[in-house]
Each structure stands twice: as structure tokens, then as C-alpha cells.
Structure 1
């Protein structure tokens, strides 16, 4: 992130304004859309950060992309960012908005990564187990990484629980590399 304080301040202003106007959920959906757009389309991020493209041209392009797809508060916010020359920070602001929204709504993000896709019933059981230990709402994200071989990796609030076969194999490999059993044979 280029300027976390700037992103935090703009996101807080947007959270406050959208809460005051009763549009918090709609603006949150728009910020989720922004995050997906910036992840899936690096050309848009390059356009936002480009010093060569003039602000009025950026505004025209962004209007073409977002008109009819985002809330009026979000559209006005994007226009304000372009007017202030802060449009390059839009992806960071959208990410920070999501963090502040989660804190405001008491939501904890949990990510589970497995070697194979899990069905919805298993994901619901895992979500209920994780939620049982806390008073927060759980937003469960599932990912697949075939390199894990088996087991799972659970990430939540800067905590990582790795119960994967890959980690077990790496632990065994480390033990053999250290050769901790040789001195006890002598």
C-alpha cells in the first residue's frame, strides 16, 4: 500500500457518509466490485496511476465503466478522488473500506484452503465451529491449493492453523536434514 493513512482517512469518510445516508450496504457492494475489478484487470489500475492520462479523460473512462453499476455516493466519491488527484489510491481505499466495514459490522474474515474443493455442507459446519468460539459473524472464504496434498490451512485475524500434509512432510524433511537421531545411536 502506497499511503495507508490516506486510504484510511478517505475510507473512514466514505463509511461515515454512507452510514449517515443509509447506503452503507450498497457502497460496501461497490467497494467489493472495485476490489474485484482491480484484482482482475491490471489495466484499470495502470490507468488510475498513470500520470500521462489527464484527469478529465480518466473521469470519462471511469464514468463509462461505473455509470449505472455503482451507487450515486460511490460515483460522487470517485469523481472527488479524480478531482483531488487521488484516483491512484482507489484500490487501497476500497480495501481499507472493507476492513472498516468489517469492524463496524463485527465481521471476522476466515479463509480455509484445502487441496480439493469442499461442498457447501462441510463449509457450513466449519463456519459454525469457528463461530462457536467468538461473538463475531464469520465470513468464510474457501480456496483450493493442490500443493497441500491433504488437510487444510485456516487463516483468521493474523492467526494461521496449518493442518496440511505438506506441512507435515516439510517437518519430516527438516527433521531428517537436522539429523537429530544420529547422536543417540552412538
Structure 2
């Protein structure tokens, strides 16, 4: 069950304590790893959300997965979530932590969708052009491939989208032909 307010509060608390202990970057890496584990392993996520599995079993499983791979603060935080019965929100909390970190560090995330994979040189050029427009922020580019675009790209930056794909161009042409006033409809 989604609970963005709860996730935001726990993430904020973790950011505050990790900033206080000067381990914010380490905790960010841990939260990114936890987010990746939750996204890639549905069984782990279902286990954490299951009310049937007792807390001591969840402790053992989390310890087996993350022991030695995460900072002690992260391990203690995950155990706190299990103690409080909030482990079902672990994925949301990790995502909220990453979002709040990006907000604090003024990192803009740009999503680039192309029909084929893009070279790192092209990504760097694009990153520099976007960074020039947002001088106070640093830019992070996430790439994704979608063969249905046929060619070109779609660039998402927050609530803005630049669609320069061949698929959109073809749809625009199709609309022009179907709405052509000069051709009588038979």
C-alpha cells in the first residue's frame, strides 16, 4: 500500500541523521542498492510486505542479504523499520530518500528515451547543453531504449517533455491527412 507521507518522513529522518554523522553519500549508495533489490526481486518485496512472516524471520533474511554490504546506519535503519512494522514501505522509503537527496544536492534528473542505445559522447554533449540551461543544478541523465519511437528521442525533465521522435512526426502527419479540409470526404 502506497504511503508517500510516511516514506517521506522516514527518508527525511534518515537524511538528517546521516548528514549529522557525515555518511550521507554512503547511505545514498545503500538506499540505491535497496531500491534496486526491491525493483529487481519481487519475491523480496512480497516477503517484506507479508504479514504472515514474523519479524525475526525478516531480520534473518535482511541480515543475510545486506550484512557487510551496507553501512551500519542503514542496517540499523532497516531493522528499525521491521521493529516498527514499516518494512512493507522499504521500497518507497528508499525512493523518497533518493528524491530528497537529489533535491538537497540540486540534482536534476533527465530521462532520455531513444530507439537505439546512445553513445556516452552524445550523452555528455546533451548533459552539457542541459547544464547550461540549469546553471545552479547538476544534471543526471537516465537512458532508456524504446524501439517503438522508430528514431529520434524523447527528453523528459520534470514536467517538461521534448518529443523529437519519428513516431510522433508520423502521428502528426497522419492527423494532418485525416483532417485535410481540401480533400472531400466520400
Report the TM range for the smaller structure's normalisation: over 0.9
The equivalent residue for 2:120 is 120
Q: Distance in 2 between matches of 1:178 and 1:23?
A: 60
The DSSP-based 3-state class of the residue aligned with 1:101 is helix
Question: 1:50 maps to which residue?
Answer: 50
* Residue equivalent to 2:4: 4
C-alpha separation in 1, matches of 2:162 and 2:125: 17
Give the 3-state SS of the residue equivalent to 1:116 in structure 2. Answer: coil
Select between 134-143 and 174-183 the one with higher mean Cα deviation: 174-183
- Alignment match, 1:172: 173
Q: Deviations over 1:55-106 (max 9, x none)?
A: 1111110110000010111000000000000000000000000000001111
Unmatched tracts of structure 1, length 5 or more: none
Provide the C-alpha distance between the structure 1 equivalents of 2:91 and 2:106, rounded to a whole number of angstroms.
23
Q: Residue in 2 aligned with 1:142?
A: 143
SS at match of 2:155: strand
Q: Find the residue that maps to 1:139 and give its secondary structure.
A: strand
Superposed CA RMSD in Å reads 1.4
1:35 CA displacement = 1.1
Note the C-alpha offset of 1:180.
4.0
Give the Cα–Cα distance (whole angstroms) in 1 for the partners of residues 82 and 59 of structure 2.
7
Structure 2: distance between partners of 1:21 and 1:151: 45
Aligned to 1:24: 24
Give the secondary-structure state (helix, strand or coil) at the position aligned to 1:161: strand
1:179 to partner: Cα distance: 4.1
TM-score when scaled to structure 2? Answer: 0.95
In structure 2, stretches of 5+ residues that fail to align are: none
Q: Please state how far the C-alpha of 1:181 moved relative to its aligned partner.
A: 3.7
Give CA-to-partner distance per residue, 1:106-146, whole Å, 9 cap, x none. Answer: 10001111111111111100000000001200011111111
Determine the C-alpha separation between the residues in 1 that align with 2:56 and 2:180: 65
Q: 1:7-59 CA deviation, whole Å, 9 max, x = no partner?
A: 00000000000000000000000110011111111001000100110111111
2:183 — aligned with what? 182
Measure, in 2, the Cα distance between the counterparts of 1:180 and 1:12: 57
Q: Shift in Å at residue 160 of structure 1?
A: 1.0
**Which shifted more, 78-87 or 170-179?**
170-179
* Alpha-carbon spacing, 1:180–1:26, altered in 2? closer, same or farther (3 Å): farther
